[in-house]
Amino acid sequence: MSKKSLLRTLWFCLIISAIVAAGLTYADPAHWFDFLLSALIYSNCIGFTVHALVTLFQPRIGKFPSVVRLSLLLVLFLLGGFIGTEIGMAIQRLISAGKFSLPMDMRLLTFNLVLAAIFGSIAVLYFTLRARAESMAAKLKEKELNEERLIRLKTKAELEALQTKINPHFLFNTLNSIASLISENPKAAEETVEKLSELFRYTLRHTERDSVTLDEELDLVRTYLDIEKVRLGDRLQFEVKCEENVRKVELPPMLIQPLVENSIKHGIASAVEGGTILVEAKSSDGNCVIAVHDSGKGFRLENDAGGFGLRSIQERLRLRHGEKASLRVIQNGHTEIVITIPLE
């Protein structure tokens, strides 16, 4: 029991004593000192007994629903009123050398139980409202901290998106592909230039926003894969599928493209025979599930260097969607990265 808690209980008991003594004194002013002494004895005995019972049983009571919890607290106040009254009677007999009187003791016990129920209800209401206010304040503080972290992370993400998302190797390879297509297939070269400019426009435009729709993000993925197919040719096969009911789901920008980039780098480009990438988005059990699967041999997680990196993606998911969102890496000869976002 902390010092602060004891002081709070003492003040509460003194306030009750003053209220009870004032009421009784008004009824019989000639015996004000006796009433004040009795009020102090019984209020402190009952108050500290109740406090001890609540402190002892609070961890167990806290597991129950709110209605049951409040009912049990009231029972503890009544039990504390009974035990505290008996202790107070024993103390008062010692002080005044009084004798046992069943009718008088029963009246006093009934009176104290009524007071314990009244002031107990007030105390339960007060501490319930106080706990709720403290909980709301803590949640608000946590939300403010998360928003600050999200702003810092967003700033970092914007810089990375502008500086390394369209990395020099990718840009160099794409420009080489365009150069080789100019004489062989001018139309294909022109289309590739348009797709590359579209990719840059998306990067510049959408990193200024906190979120994009899944449909927009998958359009970026298709554009990126189209450009990579110009470089890799038939070695790269891909498919992007999305259920209609999850197209408008919102997520942080540039979330899926880095995963696809990882698949290209580790699963397709390094294999002589190439491979296939499947990006699929669907709803499942109240969640939007986005899976990026490649037919390559997989990669070591500690070597992940694609785009933002898996840890950064996990952090952005957590800050936006809380613990309900997740990112899992499944490796069973191939690699599949699965993002789960709650449908809100």
Q: Give the DSSP per-residue string, 61-117.
A: HTTS-HHHHHHHHHHHHHHHHHHHHHHHHHHHHHHH-----HHHHHHHHHHHHHHHH
CA proximity to 213, closest of 257, 252, 184, 244 = 252
Cβ neighbours of residue 104 under 8 Å, at least 6 residues apart? none
Amino acid 338: pLDDT? 93
Amino acid present at 57 = F
3-state secondary structure (DSSP) of residue 270? coil
Amino acid 142: pLDDT? 85
Amino acid 149: pLDDT? 80
Amino acid present at 211 = S
Amino acid present at 263 = S
CA proximity to 313, closest of 247, 256, 249, 240 = 256
Q: Which residues of the chain have pLDDT under 50?
A: 1, 159, 162-165, 302-308
- CA–CA dist 90, 324 (Å, integer): 57
Question: Helix axis angle, 214-232 relative to 186-206, nearest 10°?
Answer: 140
CB 301 within 8 A of CB 266: no
The H or E element that residue 2 is part of is none
167-342 placed in CATH 3.30.565.10: yes
Provide the 10 A C-beta neighbour count for residue 270.
13
Amino acid present at 187 = K
**Bridge partners, residue 339, by sequence:** 290, 327
Q: What Rg value do the Cα atoms of the chain yield, rounded?
A: 35
Q: Model-level pTM?
A: 0.52
Q: Which residues of 90-125 are buried (b: 16+ CB within 10 A; e: fewer)?
A: eebeeeeeeeeeeeeeeebbeebbebbeebbeebbe
- Our separate counts of H helices and E strands in the chain read 9, 7
CB 50 within 8 A of CB 116: yes
Cβ neighbours of residue 118 under 8 Å, at least 6 residues apart? none
Q: Please, which contacts does 276-279 make with residues 24 or more away whose CB atoms are closer than 8 Å?
A: 276/237, 276/238, 276/239, 277/225, 277/236, 277/237, 277/238, 277/239, 278/238, 278/239, 278/241, 279/218, 279/221, 279/238, 279/239, 279/240, 279/241
Task: Kindly state the tokens that stand for 143.
Answer: 């939300």
CA 134, 138, 140: angle at the middle one, nearest 5? 115
Give a three-class secondary structure readout of 279-339.
EEEEEECCEEEEEEEECCCCCCHHHCCCCCCHHHHHHHHHHHHHHHCEEEEEECCCEEEEE
**Residue range(s) occupied by CATH 3.30.565.10 in the chain:** 167-342
Cβ neighbours of residue 219 under 8 Å, at least 6 residues apart? 202
